[in-house]
Amino acid sequence: MKKIFFLLIFTFSTLLGFSQIFNPIKWKTNVEKISDTEYFLVTTASIEDTWHLYGQDVPKGGPRPTIFHYTDNENYSLIDKTIEEKGITEFDNTFKMVIKYFEKKTVFKQKIKLLNATAVIKAEVEFMVCNDERCLPPNVKELTFYAPDNKKVESSTTKTVKADLSNEEANKILYGLTTQEIQQPTADINTISGESNTNVQKKNDSSSLFSIFLIAFLSGFAALLTPCVFPMIPMTVSYFTKQSKNRSVGIRNAIIYGISIIAIYVFLGYIITIIFGADSLNRLSTNLWFNVIFFIILVAFAFSFFGFYELTLPSSWSTKIDDQADRSGILGIFFMALALAVVSFSCTGPIVGTLLVEAASTGGLAPVLGMLGFSLAIALPFALFAAFPGWLNSLPKSGGWMNTVKVVLGFLELALAFKFLSNADMVAHWNLLKIEPFLIIWILIFASLALYLFGKIKFPHDSPLQKISGLRITTGVLVAAFAIYLASGFRINEKTNTFTPLSLLSGLAPPVGYSFIHPKECPNNLTCFKDLKEGLAFAKKENKPVMLDFTGYACVNCRKMEEHVWPIKEVDDVLRNDYVLISLYVDDKKELPKEEQLTVTRINGETRTLKTYGNKWSHFQTIFFKTNTQPYYALLNADGTQILNNPVGYTPNSDEYLNWLLDGKKKSENTLDNLFNTSDLLK
């Protein structure tokens, strides 16, 4: 048989900065005595920080539950079901459902009646672990328990069985090659992205925090224009300039006033983060009932902005704070700032509440950063106008336009409310607010907003319109254009036979796949193969390079790539016309044929029984690429004999991803055909 090169040897994998084997959970076993004949088989799972293990009862469509398999024999008999600890039960943002999971450490107990005091009891635990960035493929661990009279009475770490076949023989059966037959590719390796997945994630986190700050800053400026805040600017600045001994003192006091505003709102964000904890706040924001409740609250805020009723804090609060504001010095100035926050609550409360929840979905210090941006936008005018009082003359006079700002904010709150209802819909599997009704609701909201701006709709506190200003007309035209843009989401993409994704609604609207249109076998209606040998045979026949797509049914970042990067025309054209797509699902539970269910040795020396196709592809990725994270993309030449360039993971930058694909295509065209014969691999 001619030598076959299928994938890169292990030493090359170490050059991939983002490749990493994750093993975040350790298992230990011991036996606890209950009575002379009854015992607990105790299994302890130690879980690394940020990772979590799922419970034994998981809703359909969720991650793989933790399942214990005990081998019945004459040595013992099972009593009842396996007992698990309380754990944490809440909405999981990765799987969009309420799931029970465990962090740090947890214990499972199986009660048995022991019939042989010298027995060695064998079992298996099937499990899956995830963190906020990724989920690892489902895994199976073999467990060994020693009965009390066995010579190994002490607690022992999990034992592994000897492999039935050598790793080389197993690979030969599974993939048609052995490690001795793998050769280093002749083509130079060009690193398109020298950054690790960790670095990419850090960049994404930084980008999210910056976005939160920017949105909060702009929201603060919007709050400035409301009738609760805007009239306070000239009143407050005039107070400081008139009551101060000189201009410099007035400016200093106004600056202290602005700093106090920032301190109050930042402290609010900090307190919320401390009370709930950064991680708990994130989990709260993705809770099913929290999303339903917040939908109701946002609708209530919206109708308050429309002027149907007023939401205010108790008047006694503002009275007591006003009394304190009469005090002189820095403390008095601080209470003046606090009075502004309390008095303006009916306008700023809905905005602040929305920002805090949005920031909570990012976690960490995002609530603090959001409040910093919001308060900075509010505080800045007070300091600037105090420094340059002449600018006050350029401010527009208070009037009906401020109520228009409130009503516009009400429409925006109403639209945002349906984002939270959409989250709840997906969690509860109501299958009601899919992409079609969601778009229709948003179109109606923004079409109504456009009609309001054009003077066709009135609200309780609106002043009579003598003339529609140019700014109002311009804004109305832009809003109407946005409504038309939303309607364009119903266009069918002829290539994918799905609705066209709207990039401006990314993260707000349900995914286009969550619709009443029948699901597609492959993402974006691409042609794909889910069998390695079949895909390689087709690639060789068509003389096209291969894109290996290590993915998972429960992989969130895989869906992000498929819904937001792959549909971009340039990327879609390359994937559709220039590559053969082979998607290998590492969490596929379909069982392998009996002759392919093998016990193999993993990179860390452990043994693992490959029972499913998911086990097979997970092992395949781990052995040949030394990584077990998804998505993971590798480009091969048409024969499947050569890695074309550096494989990549999650790459949300479409230009970077496109350049990577084009680079692989170029290298494929420069590669000699039939460099190696892969006929044995395809048998």
Domain boundary among 429, 454, 488: 488
Same-domain status, 121 and 222: no
Does residue 620 form part of some domain?
no
Give the pLDDT of residue 193. Answer: 32
Question: pLDDT tens across 205-240, in order?
Answer: 555 677 778 888 888 888 777 766 776 777 776 666
Asked if residue 272 has pLDDT above 90, the reply is: no
Is 171 a residue whose pLDDT tops 60?
no
Report, as an integer, the average pLDDT of 183-203: 37
User: Which sign does the torsion angle of CA 646, 647, 652, 658 carry?
Assistant: positive
Q: Say yes or no: 89 and 234 in one domain.
A: no
420 shares a domain with 316: yes
521 falls within a domain: no
Give the pLDDT band of residue 520 (cuts 50, 70, 90). low
What is the predicted pLDDT for the residue at 360?
56
Would you say residue 188 has pLDDT above 50? no
Residue 265 CA to residue 271 CA, distance in Å, equals: 10
- Residue 368 pLDDT exceeds 70: yes
Quickly list DSSP for 230-277: TTHHHHHHHHHHHHSSSHHHHHHHHHHHHHHHHHHHHHHHHHHHHHH-
Q: What pLDDT is stored for residue 71 in this prediction? A: 79
pLDDT at 551: 84
Torsion of CA 287, 289, 291, 294, to 10 degrees: -130
DSSP H helical ranges for 432-509:
435-453, 470-487
Q: What is the mean pLDDT of residues 188-194?
A: 32
Domain boundary among 488, 521, 538: 488
Give the pLDDT score at 574.
95
Give mean pLDDT, residues 378-404.
74
Is 88 in the same domain as 206? no
Q: Looking at the structure, do residues 124 and 238 belong to the same domain, yes or no? A: no
Domain membership of residue 462 (yes or no) is: yes
Residue-by-residue DSSP string for 175-190:
HS--GGG----SSPP-
In this predicted model, what pLDDT tens digit does every residue of 525-539 receive, in sequence order? 788 898 888 888 899
The average pLDDT across 122-134 equals 83
Distances (CA, A) of 94 to 184, 361, 542, 617: 38, 12, 38, 22
Query: What ranges in 596-653 are assigned the alpha helix state H?
Result: 613-625
Cβ atoms 226, 405 nearer than 8 A: yes
In three-state secondary structure terms, 471 is: helix
459 shares a domain with 371:
yes
Higher pLDDT, 303 or 512: 303
What distance in Å separates the CA atoms of residue 360 and residue 365, rounded to the nearest whole number? 9
Q: pLDDT by residue (tens digit) across 647-674? A: 998 888 999 999 999 999 998 887 544 3
pLDDT at 497 over 60: yes
What is the reported pLDDT for 549?
A: 94
Asked if 220 and 324 sit in the same domain, the reply is yes
Residue 172 pLDDT greater than 60, yes or no? no
Return mean pLDDT, the chain. Answer: 75
What's the pLDDT at 162? Answer: 31
The confidence score (pLDDT) of residue 184 equals 33
pLDDT 10s digits, 42-91 = 999 999 888 889 999 888 777 889 999 887 778 888 998 999 998 888 87
pLDDT of 180 > 80? The answer is no
Angle at 160 between CA 154 and CA 161, to 5 degrees: 120
Q: CA triplet 348, 351, 355: central angle to 5 degrees?
A: 135
Nearest to 426 by CA among 35, 97, 147: 97
In terms of domains, do 213 and 122 share one? no
Task: State how many domains the chain has.
Answer: 2
Report yes or no: 609 and 126 within 8 Å, Cβ to Cβ. no
Cα–Cα distances (Å) from 395 to 231, 390, 466, 498, 677, in that order, read 10, 10, 21, 49, 78
pLDDT of residue 676: 35
Indicate whether 125 and 205 sit together in one domain.
no
Listed residue (591, 215, 595) closest to 370, CA to CA: 215
The DSSP bridge pattern shows strands 580-585 and 528-529 to be parallel
Whether the CB-CB separation of 241 and 389 falls below 8 Å is answered with: yes
Which residue shows structure tokens 């066995």? Answer: 150
Domain enclosing residue 66, as ranges: 25-130
500 or 21: which carries more pLDDT confidence? 500
Task: Identify whether residues 215 and 322 lie together within a single domain.
Answer: yes
Closest C-alpha among 53, 40, 144, 171 to residue 103: 53
Rounded CA-CA distance 661/651 in Å is: 12
Which is nearest to 111 in space by CA: 32, 56, 28? 32
What residues form DSSP beta bridges with 31?
41
**Cβ atoms 157, 28 nearer than 8 A:** yes
CATH of the domain at 107: 2.60.40
* Tens-place pLDDT, residues 135-167: 777 788 888 888 877 644 333 333 332 334 455
Does 212 share its domain with 117? no
Q: Which two tokens mark 86?
A: 């309380």
Could you tell me which residues are beta bridge partners of residue 582?
Answer: 529, 548
Best CA proximity match to 127, nearest among 60, 209, 205, 45: 45
Whether 656 is covered by a domain: the verdict is no
From 130, 157, 189, the end of a domain falls on 130
How distant, in Å, are the alpha carbons of 23, 67, 158, 231, 502 from that of 139?
Answer: 11, 11, 14, 63, 37
- Give mean pLDDT, residues 500-512: 74
Confidence of residue 449 (pLDDT cuts 50, 70, 90): very high
Residue 521 confidence (pLDDT) above 70 = no
Q: Which residue type occupies 597?
A: Q
Quick: pLDDT tens for 602-613.
555 566 778 888
In a domain, 123, yes or no: yes
Alpha-carbon gap, residue 15 to 305, rounded angstroms: 57
Q: Residue 510 in contact with residue 434, Cβ under 8 Å?
A: yes
**Residues 116 and 241 grouped into a single domain:** no
210-214 contact pairs (CB < 8 A, 24+): 212/355, 212/358, 212/359, 212/362, 212/366, 212/369, 212/370, 212/373, 213/369, 213/370, 213/372, 213/373, 214/373
Residue 548 has pLDDT above 80, yes or no: yes
Percentage of the residues of the chain whose pLDDT score is greater than 70: 69
Let me know if residue 77 belongs to a domain: yes
Residue type, 197: N
Does a structural domain hold residue 78?
yes
Confidence of residue 189 (pLDDT cuts 50, 70, 90): very low
In this prediction, residue 276 carries a pLDDT of: 55
Q: What is the DSSP code (8-state) at residue 565?
A: I
The predicted-structure confidence for 276-299, as pLDDT tens digits, reads as follows: 554 444 445 545 677 788 788 789
Q: How confident is residue 201, by pLDDT bands cut at 50, 70 and 90?
A: very low
CB 542 within 8 A of CB 576: no
Tell whether 238 is covered by a domain: yes
Burial of 460 (0-12, 13-18, 19+ CB in 10 A): exposed
